[in-house]
Each structure stands twice: as structure tokens, then as C-alpha cells.
Amino acid sequence: MFDDAVAVKPLRTTCTQNILITDCKVIYGVGMSIGSVPPNLGINCVNNITIRNIDFQWPLKAIYLKSNPGVNGRGLISNILYENIKITNAITWAI
């Protein structure tokens, strides 16, 4: 209860990319999360992610992007599409 339903995170040596998450029902979850994406000396990245047809019921946040602070290297979140998202009775709204 109240953990990420899905958490898309960067790989250690390359980007996490080209992922489709579709047709899910999430009850009492934090949400469909992107991250954490901290900078590193190469690059940490999440790219080209589509999340569609999701039914959230009593989520903590529903849609959530998590960057991490840092000073060395790069971190990138890009080309994220949330489509056809239904949210009922959200505890808080974090987009």
C-alpha cells in the first residue's frame, strides 16, 4: 500500500528508454513514477516513456517525476507522455 505502482529509473551505464505502460488499475498506490534521476559523470536519463489508460483510485500522488539534486554530471528526463489518466480521490496532487 502506498508505494510506486511503477517506477521508471535510469540504468547505470545508459538511458532507460522506449517504454510503454498501459491499461492498469492502481488502488492506494503512490503512482506511476519517473525517477529518481540524479546527475552522474556520464548521464543518467529516462527518455521516451508513454503511460496511458491508467485508472488511479485513492492514489497518494498518481503522477510523479523525481529528480535528485547533485552537482557533477547530467541527469535528464525527456519525452514523457501521460495519456488518458483517470484519478479518483487523490490524497495529494503532484505533477
Q: What is the per-residue pLDDT for 95?
A: 62
Per-residue pLDDT band for 18 (boundaries 50, 70, 90) equals: very high
For residues 16 and 46, is the Cβ–Cβ distance under 8 A?
yes
Per-residue pLDDT band for 70 (boundaries 50, 70, 90) equals: confident
C-alpha cell at 32: 506511476
pLDDT, the chain, mean? 89
On the question of pLDDT at 94 being above 70, the answer is no
For residues 23 and 55, is the Cβ–Cβ distance under 8 A?
no
On the question of pLDDT at 1 being above 80, the answer is no
pTM for the full predicted model: 0.88
